[in-house]
Structure 1
């Protein structure tokens, strides 16, 4: 028996290490399975696998380029002002769990991968029985799953330390699997409306945030577009006068705005800091000796626009293959389902300036909140991480602009930035992760999961049932709002639109 279990775990470890936690191969693997189920010729299956994998790799080049170009700047702010602080960033959060879980709870980080397996299998089962659960999205973003499994592992150990190893893995596996299924399911409607039936959901760190922004944006619209009022202008509808017309071109607007944004921060840090980065990183992202500081700032700023364009190219390359191939999976294994994928996939469908506007106003909210933490002598000072700074707030800007116009695309990311910093400061201090320098810090983990932690901490075993029940009820409420068209939305979006018109 032990040999069989060891064999199963060895196969799982290989799959998890090489496919599940490598999103490009995971997406390619899904496309391959989908085409095989559709009984397409082998050469078409192989071509689909390669196109989807390469497309996702292109997306990751753009995504990693955005993160890597900005991370030294945020680290510089921490070093320049001698702040002992917690960085809100999924990778810093994962490292904090790796460093601290044994010291704090006497548990092994290796259990995180077993927890991930339980959660992933449970997510698939929930979608397989969508007739009863009303959950329609499979969470496929493997690197995000690892980060969330790590933070969820810590939260449960903090909340109910009396749980033994098996209980921790089973309880958090079930709760996390529910969160993945319910959260990605909540994004289906706003993403289908944004992409005009793109056939995917978001599986990331701000799924409840996307649903909340979509709901609030609709309230903006109903308030601002009432009887006798003009329709709210979207960013793409705003015609700027005179020389400001250059901002109507999204690539130009992104380049100029990022030059202003990056330029101010980099000037504050100073030329000597970036020269030091060059010396310590073999020239990866620093300023070479005798190089122009002005052109270094310019290159870094323009790199933002370049990486954003690369990211959008990657999305266009793989999303079509994924949507088409998933029909085979939906028709056979997982009826009435869609894949949940990286939030960056949404950036290719909305107004491109909304991505930049969402990022900038979210950054403004974060920096104001960080200033308030310093002013009021918070025990934990937060350093903005680029991933929540950009990926949360950019998608909020895109969704808000698409549904309610430019005003919502500015206001909602701004408040999101404040919430991210204040929520992360509170929860990371309370559960003890701030001591290890990092916390996941994305929107859902600054709002929803702190609330769940309170329930688990103070209600104990009963709290587990309460959290599970809350998550189970949400898709049931969604379904009851429109039972006739609920599954039609993912089966045939054109038919869904016709039905809604009637």
Structure 2
């Protein structure tokens, strides 16, 4: 048993948690199943890995800037994060140490579900979010039920996470297709809730026309037309915010973020803004590189092992479609969060800490999905939605995870709140049943998932039959018309 656990932990830590390796293995397997020549297998695999590495480098560059940005902005507002009785590291060293097993077992169940149900057509491939959502589920169950037997926590959490990985790409699929213009791949990201709220919310409010008000077609005065270049606009906007924050921040905090740098604070701030812009440019290039390899390579898996399936990928794959909308969403999300931060601080309710990474990715998600439905107005709306969700979510969730990992409140995407709050709510009702209550929750999630997939499967078969009937009717009509046209010619002869 210990050997099996060690193997599962090794797989989780060295494959699922390492996105380049995971994508490389999938690309390699897909190309082999297509019986591609050895040179194509090696070349395609390495290009896919390099694309993900480039993307990761871009993320690391601007995330480093976001971390410094967060610390300086918090200091400028005179904020200190709230205290807690536990930390994420303590949780992962204790009851959360089974998280790698949850990921490994959960992904195996996910693949089985995708193989059994034709309607479950996406394979979830965003490795780092597999880790985070597994932590959220494990922490939620422990908060609700207290000490839980490790094997029960692993199996129940794996069942729940497998269902989430299966359903999440499906519920965002219609909007994803509208955004991308195709359905060659799906979205696997824990900001899918922001995408839903942004897209359908902008549509319900009739905020604009996606063609007429497209953020990528914005007409700017000639003097400021340089803002159309995403790299230029990013560098300028972040520079202004950074310099203002440095002016009001505590000198010690700024010095700590600067480290051993010999630059003056304003020069360091400008450099951070430029690095941020460069990181986004590198990220977008990496996305294009690995998509060009993983989509054709995955065809082998879809044809041989998991018929009809498609890869579900990280949110950056949507950013090249509307980079201006990404920045609009990020900026509007940040502004809204800062407003909430000031209101909460002045009212003495709670000390919000700006999670810049979540503001960027969630704001970007809201921006691109809002833009796909209502143009730049929808992008602004999507950013506002993300800012509100992160503000209220951090406020509400901090106390809910005080005994396990309160950082999950401040470092969260919208789906973390949705899944976590649901489990905590159900747990509060079923807690008197003890560990039996956990099985009720896991069993209920599995049952609901199966029902949804069966219903979706029936709808797909009905749609396919209707398409086939329509095609047959069209063919029959053409044959009839052709026969009718031929009759006069026969009579003449």
- Answer whether TM exceeds 0.5 for this pair: yes
Q: So what's the TM-score if we normalise by structure 1? A: 0.83
Q: Distance in 1 between matches of 2:428 and 2:62?
A: 37
Q: Is 1:355–2:326 an aligned residue pair?
A: yes
- For structure 1, list consecutive stretches of 5 or more residues without a partner in the other structure: 489-494, 496-502
Map of 1:391 onto structure 2: 361
SS of match in other structure, 2:353: strand
Whole-angstrom CA distance in 1 between matches of 2:77 and 2:242:
17
Q: What is residue 152 of structure 2 aligned with on the other side?
A: 167
Report the number of matched residues.
458
Matched residue, 1:22: 18
CA contact (8 A) 2:242 2:269 kept: yes
Shift in alpha-carbon separation, 1:437–1:130, aligned structure 2, 3 A: closer
Structure 2: state its 5+ residue gaps. 432-436, 472-493
Please report how far the alpha carbon of residue 231 of structure 1 lies from its aligned counterpart in structure 2 after TM superposition.
6.2
Note the C-alpha offset of 1:418.
Answer: 1.3
Q: How does 1:280-429 map to 2 (within 5 A)?
A: 283=260, 288-289=261-262, 291-348=263-320, 350-378=321-349, 380-429=350-399
Q: Secondary structure at the match of 2:312?
A: strand
Deviates more, 1:479-488 or 1:311-320: 479-488
SS in 2 for 1:239: coil
Structure 1 residue aligned with 2:33, among 34, 37, 61? 37
User: 5 Å matches for 1:193-208?
Assistant: 193-197=178-182, 199-208=184-193
Shift of the alpha carbon at 1:30? 0.4
Task: Show the counterpart of 1:500.
Answer: none
Q: Hey, what's the Cα distance between the residues in 1 that align with 2:360 and 2:452?
A: 28
Cα deviation digits, residues 358-400 of structure 1 (max 9, x gap) = 100111121122223223323x523122221111110210111
Which of 71, 95, 118 matches 1:75?
71
* Structure label with greater radius of gyration: 2
Structure 1 477/388 Cα, relative in aligned 2: closer, same or farther at 3 Å? farther
* Contact map agreement 2:17 2:127 (CA 8 A) in 1: yes
Q: Which residue, out of 165, 181, 185, partners 1:180?
A: 165
Q: Residues 86-485 of structure 1 correspond to what in structure 2 (within 5 A)?
A: 96-100=87-91, 107-131=94-118, 134-161=119-146, 163-197=148-182, 199-221=184-206, 224=208, 232-269=212-249, 273-279=253-259, 283=260, 288-289=261-262, 291-348=263-320, 350-378=321-349, 380-432=350-402, 437=407, 439=409, 440-460=411-431, 461=437, 462-475=440-453
Secondary structure of 1:210 counterpart: helix
Secondary structure of 1:384's partner?
coil
Report the CA distance between 1:466 and its aligned residue.
4.3
Any conservation in 2 of the 1:97–1:150 contact (CA below 8 Å)?
Answer: no
Instruction: Return the alpha-carbon distance in structure 1 between the equivalents of residues 453 and 193 of structure 2.
Output: 12
User: Per-residue CA shift, 1:26-81, capped at 9, x if unaligned?
Assistant: 11110000001111112211111100001000000111111111202212344566
Matches of 2:451 and 2:338, distance apart in 1: 36
In structure 2, relative to structure 1, the CA distance for the partners of 1:437 and 1:149 (3 Å cut) is closer
TM-score w.r.t. structure 2 length? 0.84
